[in-house]
Chain A
Amino acid sequence: MKMTRPLNPFRDQTRRHFFSQCGMGVGAAALATMLGEKNGSATDQVENPLSPKSSHFPAKAKNVIFLFMAGGPSQLEMFENKPDLTKLNGQPIPDSFVEGKRFAFMDSSHRRNLLASRRTFKRHGNSGAWVCDLLPKTAEIVDEISIVKTCKSELFNHAPAKLFMNTGSGQFGRPSMGSWVTYGIGSECQDLPGFMVLQSGPRGPRGGAVLWGSGMLPSTYQGVPLRNQGDPILNLSAPSSVTPDQQRQLVETVGKLNLKRLVATGDDEIATRINAYEMAYQMQTSAPELMDIRDESQETLDLYGIQDPQQASFARNCLLARRLVERGVRFIQLYDTNWDHHGGSTETLEKHFPSKCQDIDQPGAALIRDLKRRGLLDETIVIWGGEFGRTPMGEVRQFTGRNHHIDAFTMWMAGGGIKAGQVYGKTDEFGFGAIENPVHVHDLHATVLHLLGLDHEQLTYRFQGRDFRLTDVHGQVVDGLLA
């Protein structure tokens, strides 16, 4: 499946699909008759660009949920138990580690003195994975997940690093992973966008819309924010003075008039637009249904730790992610912001970091359990992690904190063909760099695509004379992560 940049991205589509999608207000038979009047075959090839497409090879997983901890969570206060760090607390890290390396804040607060972990660790599960005291619920699911200790990125400032984690490049203008995936295999949900983005935390992630942008791919594939307040999807509901009847008439009449124009001009773009109105109209029902979690049991709400079902939170977003997967939405990304614990007065490891952990521990673990008991974990890849991790060295600021670190940081993955119950990769005595099985961001991308049945070298898009890929010219599927 070599994909080159089509002028009309809605080709290779079937007539049958067109009829199945586009019946509203006009009987399918009447439609067929009208189309039959057309001279030629333009509409033989019309279909929703997001409808499911076959993958390169049989897939292990169908959907992805990426829990993105924006800011860079500290692996050394979560999963990395390093006694040597404690032993040498306050001592400078040996030259051999940092020679020639660059860090953020080099001109101000960055220092070379090691900082002992602020937390205590215990082994958990059959895998014996180390987990800190702040993550009791995550500790209970370690046998469902692969904890990857050796993730590696290339950029150490937030916006570029987030871009890199999402698009495989620090340059702007590249499609994000969710866009690549929906471009490659579409989505099984036809009344919601195939790539949806949810947010929690006090602000939006650094970089904003470009993180879920479709780059040079058509905007059909860009992530659509699912909002916690007001319309869940921008402009979803009709203006308040409009009645449901008027809205229905609007959509029906637009459809009929567009169909007449389709017959008059033979332009298959109009058929696509008729589809789009149909889907938009369906979204007006399906999105509020999605957001209405009153049909969830109290037990489920408790599992996620949702106290107020109306209140936006990471916990509620995790539950919504499960509901999106149930509806067949292909790629779901949750951003939780404020994981940037440098040690300034509002970003300390002692006070603020524990509260962030509390926000995400139970919901993340609940998501895994909930997906599993509903039989969805097998077909859903769950990824947890940020754009980078934190340095073993402390910073000189008002309180304790750590700097951005890209040589080795921890992420975890579960479900959808990922090996359950393992700790993957090893870092050195301080958790500074990988000493076994490094996993570069490109490798992570290649592996996710592989599980979805996509060869990361074949999923390409021709632009400016070059075939672009999510993995640029790099990336290897990490066999050790596969079940």
Chain B
Amino acid sequence: MLKLGLSVFAVLLVSIAGTAADTQAKDLRFSRDVLPILAENCFACHGFDEAAREADLRLDTKQGALGSGIVVAGNPTASPLIERINSKDPSDQMPPPDSGKQLTDAQREILRQWVAQGAAYEKHWAFQSPQRSEPPSVPNSRHPVDRFVLSRLSDSGLTPSPSADPGTLIRRVCLDLIGLPPTPAEIDQFTVAFERNPEIAWQTLVDRLLGSPHYGERWGRWWLDQARYADSNGYSVDSPRSIWRYREWVVDALNQGMPFDQFTIEQLAGDLLPDASVGQQVATGFHRNTQINQEGGIDREQFRIDSVFDRVATTGTVWMGLTIGCAQCHDHKFDPIKQEEFYRLFAFFNDQDEPSIKVYDPDLDISAITAQKKQAERDLGAYFVSHSAEQLDWEHRLDDEAKKKLPSKVTKALAVESQKRNLGQKFEIASVWQGTDHQAFLLLKKRYDELSKILNNAPTTLVLRERGTPRKTAILIKGDFTRPAEEVTPGTPAILHPFKSDHERPNRLDLARWLVSPENPLTARVIVNRVWQQYFGRGLVDTENDFGLLGARPTHRGLLDWLAIHFVERGWDLKSIHRLIVTSHTYRQSSAFRGDLAEVDADNRLLGRQQRLRLDAEIVRDVALVACGQFSSRLGGPPVYPPIPNAVMSQGQVRRSWKASTGADRYRRGLYTFVYRATPPPSLNVFDAPDGYSSCTRRNRSNTPLQSLALMNDAAFFEFAQSLQRTIDKDGLEDAFRSCTGRQPDESELELLRRLDSLTAARVLLNLDETITRE
């Protein structure tokens, strides 16, 4: 009786804690219930890593557990495993007391039951393909997302929250899809349409936002976090770099709705595509966002290898949600990834040169300009030929005294034999010698200079380019580049789907295609999870960067798999995933706190309501810009320099200049602010903008006094407040309040604001928690 009670209790515990999958626990499932316990408590010494394995015992495979006799299937009392985990003798007890790990009674009971039920093993959930399932039927809902969510809620005896009001809804979805708040006029229009037909109003709004070029900016930043994008080289010297064409490429690709598989292939291996376009080469900037150490006295190879380590780890994190980087020095402790497999992945990224290329404005016809320049060159050549006698005559008449007075560049040019002078040298001479038709020459020269300028001044961007001859890749003992061991060839981890290549030596293109192969159990899930996380503050898998054995279990496995399958079947269309999520009731619920939910589900894992989320750093700025009417909507272009406090740039080794932009560039979106890694822009940094040192798959949302100081006193925010003051003076407090928060203030709020002068009131509005929060 007691045993039975405990077992029911144990199973319940698992399901309430949200560690279990989405169905009510009925039968014990290895991958859902048992594997997490073994992984957390046993695998460090009895797992995949051979070097760390104790007593030659592994529990991560059926053969290891049963073959050793530690587990006797169906017979817990005869299983030493069960005896050891229940032992009170410190020398016998497992896990050992000094490991710092301890099983709970519930966990011991789960292990006992698992053995009793036959000790079945199965693959970790994330290494199995997503399972197709019909969304559960629930009353009054047809939306697939809601059907999964509601079914789980009702299993726990909970009901969803009502839909948020239209004002909250439009502000929420605008901030989520384009990262900009709606204007009061847009709110009014939407509210009217919403009252007429909420569904049509909503669909229309969502379509408009997904078609907005600002969509690419907002979601581009989501991707750039993962790409560890910044505008400087990092380490100590931290020189500026030019790679913003890659940023533009990301924004454009998302705006054009480029399918995510292609988006992946071009970034990882665009240069290897047949007849790679400039854009496809620019896309390979993804893996040029690694730092470059320019410190004196370094061994360049060491830091090249470090950047390759980073590329492997980042690829693992971003596309696979796996901590592959853990296998750099030894076999992975928890996930079945061998050190050798790390270096086989490493081999894909070890064969590149790291050049930069010029990228011309796509509106320019470069071949025409090049032809025109050639023509100008010919014209100039003809001019010099036709005036050569005249020019030589002048030259011969120069005496030593006169020569001394000439600029040194001219003297140098004159020293060259006249037939052997190049165009530049001829120009030097023509700067002091004027022949007949000099005006004609000047016109030709001007044209030539203009054309050259267009061709020479194109911005550069960092790219990857495959080397002619591959480098040798070897396993590096303990990740030390001075200790190469066995040589390895490019390849992928055995635990995942098979790798195919048509090439003798597989390359990055094969790897990229492997990552977005429909057989890959990870990529689609990892990406939809990271999209989901933006909308609810947390993914369906809480550990968005670890789908491995130690990662969290999905709260809604059925939904995650359904979304992943849908994503792939819709041609990896990100916009369709966005549309699907934001049209659900789950997304549209009110975010208000509910005591009844909090009692059962304090962390809102079951999604009985929406979540208030503090805005991302850049959007904190963008909201203030739009609210105060200063916002510049210009898309793309080089990074800009909004005003920052004086002292900031002296914090790095080399003091970099920061000449504040003027005109519209002063009011560009936070996305365009130049980011020095060593001295990041403080008003972004203080709101948790990532530093670009490593891939960031989820931002922290801290809440600190330094944020208050920035909003209150930072010169840029004060400037915004002064603009907002003008709105208050012209259109009144209510309009300004709505510009900031998206809602009408109530009388008591207005009363508080009316007591203030209009500048202080404007500052208050920009400082409200509500202004910097998506509700």
Most chain A CB atoms below 10 A, which of B235, B682, B770, B775: B235
- B768 and A254 contact, CB distance less than 8 A: yes
Most chain A CB atoms below 10 A, which of B551, B599, B704: B704
Residue B702 CB within 8 A of the other chain: yes
Residue A42 CB within 8 A of the other chain: yes
Residues from chain A with Cβ under 8 Å of B700 in the complex:
9, 216-219
A204/B651 contact (C-beta < 8 A), A157-B293, A230-B645 known: yes
The total of chain B residues at the interface (CB under 8 A) is 92
From A9, A157, A217, A227, B647 is in contact (CB under 8 Å) with A227
B584-603 interface mask toward A, CB cutoff 8 Å, 1 = contact, 0 = none? 00000001111100110001
In the assembled complex, the CB of A76 is this many whole angstroms from the nearest CB of chain B, namely 19
- A105 and B764 contact, CB distance less than 8 A: no
In the assembled complex, the CB of A324 is this many whole angstroms from the nearest CB of chain B, namely 16
Stretch in B193-201, B294-302, B496-504, B658-666 touching the partner? B294-302
- A464 and B235 contact, CB distance less than 8 A: no
Residue B289 CB within 8 A of the other chain: no
Residue B400 CB within 8 A of the other chain: no
Inter-chain CA distance A2–B99, complex, in Å, is: 13
A173/B706 contact (C-beta < 8 A), A229-B647, A253-B753 known: no
A465/B614 contact (C-beta < 8 A), A157-B293, A246-B757 known: no
**Residues of chain A in range 264-318 having any CB-CB distance to chain B below 8 Å:** 264-267, 269-270, 272-273, 276-277, 279-281, 283
A261/B770 contact (C-beta < 8 A), A157-B298, A203-B655, A207-B236 known: yes
Residue B693 CB within 8 A of the other chain: yes
From A108, A224, A227, A260, B297 is in contact (CB under 8 Å) with A108
Residue B514 CB within 8 A of the other chain: no
From B297, B645, B678, B712, A209 is in contact (CB under 8 Å) with B678
From A8, A204, A235, A283, B710 is in contact (CB under 8 Å) with A235
Residue A113 CB within 8 A of the other chain: no
- B768 and A261 contact, CB distance less than 8 A: yes
Query: Count the A-B residue pairs with Cβ separation under 8 angstroms: how many?
Result: 249
- A172 and B693 contact, CB distance less than 8 A: yes
Inter-chain CA distance A321–B650, complex, in Å, is: 21
Residues from chain A with Cβ under 8 Å of B704 in the complex:
219-220, 276
Residues from chain A with Cβ under 8 Å of B703 in the complex:
10, 220, 269, 272-273, 276
- A209 and B653 contact, CB distance less than 8 A: no
From A2, A160, A205, A235, B645 is in contact (CB under 8 Å) with A235
From B706, B749, B768, A224 is in contact (CB under 8 Å) with B706
**Residues of chain B in range 674-708 having any CB-CB distance to chain A below 8 Å:** 677-680, 682, 685-686, 688, 691, 693-694, 700-708
Residue B714 CB within 8 A of the other chain: yes
Chain A interface residue number, banded: 35 or more
In the assembled complex, the CB of B232 is this many whole angstroms from the nearest CB of chain A, namely 10
From B100, B678, B764, A257 is in contact (CB under 8 Å) with B764
Residues from chain B with Cβ under 8 Å of A238 in the complex:
712-713
Residue A30 CB within 8 A of the other chain: no
In the assembled complex, the CB of B628 is this many whole angstroms from the nearest CB of chain A, namely 15
- A208 and B238 contact, CB distance less than 8 A: yes
Residues from chain A with Cβ under 8 Å of B545 in the complex:
464-465
Residue A93 CB within 8 A of the other chain: no
The residue on A at minimum CB distance from B706 is A224
- A250 and B712 contact, CB distance less than 8 A: yes
Residue B482 CB within 8 A of the other chain: yes
Residue A106 CB within 8 A of the other chain: yes
Inter-chain CA distance A20–B234, complex, in Å, is: 43
The residue on A at minimum CB distance from B693 is A172
Inter-chain CA distance A480–B752, complex, in Å, is: 62
- B295 and A204 contact, CB distance less than 8 A: no
B629-648 interface mask toward A, CB cutoff 8 Å, 1 = contact, 0 = none? 00000000000000001111
**Residues of chain B in range 474-517 having any CB-CB distance to chain A below 8 Å:** 482
The residue on A at minimum CB distance from B704 is A220
In the assembled complex, the CB of A13 is this many whole angstroms from the nearest CB of chain B, namely 12
- A9 and B702 contact, CB distance less than 8 A: yes
- B296 and A105 contact, CB distance less than 8 A: yes
The residue on B at minimum CB distance from A238 is B713
Residues from chain B with Cβ under 8 Å of A219 in the complex:
685-686, 688, 700, 702, 704
Residue A365 CB within 8 A of the other chain: no
In the assembled complex, the CB of B36 is this many whole angstroms from the nearest CB of chain A, namely 11
Residue B56 CB within 8 A of the other chain: no
- A231 and B768 contact, CB distance less than 8 A: no
Residues from chain A with Cβ under 8 Å of B406 in the complex:
none
In the assembled complex, the CB of A51 is this many whole angstroms from the nearest CB of chain B, namely 13
The residue on B at minimum CB distance from A105 is B297
Inter-chain CA distance A266–B775, complex, in Å, is: 12
From B334, B653, B764, A205 is in contact (CB under 8 Å) with B653
Residue B748 CB within 8 A of the other chain: yes
- A173 and B593 contact, CB distance less than 8 A: no
- B297 and A404 contact, CB distance less than 8 A: yes
Residues from chain A with Cβ under 8 Å of B100 in the complex:
2, 457-458
- B688 and A230 contact, CB distance less than 8 A: no
Residues from chain A with Cβ under 8 Å of B550 in the complex:
465-466
The residue on A at minimum CB distance from B648 is A234
From B595, B645, B653, B706, A203 is in contact (CB under 8 Å) with B653
The residue on A at minimum CB distance from B298 is A157
From A209, A251, A272, A465, B551 is in contact (CB under 8 Å) with A465
- A249 and B546 contact, CB distance less than 8 A: no
- B756 and A235 contact, CB distance less than 8 A: no
From A41, A209, A233, B709 is in contact (CB under 8 Å) with A233
Inter-chain CA distance A10–B704, complex, in Å, is: 11
- A239 and B718 contact, CB distance less than 8 A: yes
A258/B317 contact (C-beta < 8 A), A108-B297, A224-B706, A269-B614 known: no
Inter-chain CA distance A107–B677, complex, in Å, is: 28
The residue on A at minimum CB distance from B757 is A246
Residues from chain B with Cβ under 8 Å of A250 in the complex:
712, 760, 763-764, 767
Residue A237 CB within 8 A of the other chain: yes
- B298 and A104 contact, CB distance less than 8 A: yes
A204/B653 contact (C-beta < 8 A), A39-B595, A172-B291, A254-B764 known: yes
Residues from chain B with Cβ under 8 Å of A31 in the complex:
none
Inter-chain CA distance A217–B699, complex, in Å, is: 10
- B708 and A280 contact, CB distance less than 8 A: yes
Residue B273 CB within 8 A of the other chain: no
Residue A236 CB within 8 A of the other chain: yes
From B542, B599, B680, B709, A236 is in contact (CB under 8 Å) with B709
Residues from chain B with Cβ under 8 Å of A270 in the complex:
769
- B677 and A230 contact, CB distance less than 8 A: no
- A260 and B651 contact, CB distance less than 8 A: no
Inter-chain CA distance A204–B648, complex, in Å, is: 10
Inter-chain CA distance A220–B703, complex, in Å, is: 7
Residues from chain B with Cβ under 8 Å of A218 in the complex:
688, 700-702
Residue B84 CB within 8 A of the other chain: no
Inter-chain CA distance A234–B711, complex, in Å, is: 12
Residue A372 CB within 8 A of the other chain: no
From A225, A249, A277, A280, B651 is in contact (CB under 8 Å) with A225
Inter-chain CA distance A104–B503, complex, in Å, is: 40
Residue A29 CB within 8 A of the other chain: no
From B542, B677, B764, A210 is in contact (CB under 8 Å) with B677
Residue B73 CB within 8 A of the other chain: no
The residue on A at minimum CB distance from B323 is A464
- A234 and B769 contact, CB distance less than 8 A: no
Residue B537 CB within 8 A of the other chain: yes
The residue on A at minimum CB distance from B595 is A40
From A7, A41, A108, A234, B537 is in contact (CB under 8 Å) with A7
Q: Could you name 11 residue pairs across A and B whose Cβ atoms are closer than 8 Å?
A: A208-B238, A208-B651, A225-B651, A234-B647, A235-B706, A236-B713, A265-B612, A266-B594, A267-B593, A267-B612, A280-B712
- Contacts A260-B749, A465-B545, A465-B548 aside, 15 further interface pairs with beta carbons under 8 A come to A9-B702, A203-B650, A204-B651, A209-B651, A209-B691, A219-B686, A219-B688, A239-B718, A249-B756, A253-B756, A269-B703, A273-B708, A283-B709, A458-B100, A465-B549
Of all A-B residue pairs in the complex, the 10 with the closest CB atoms, nearest first, are: A266-B593, A208-B678, A40-B595, A206-B236, A465-B546, A172-B693, A104-B297, A105-B297, A280-B708, A159-B236
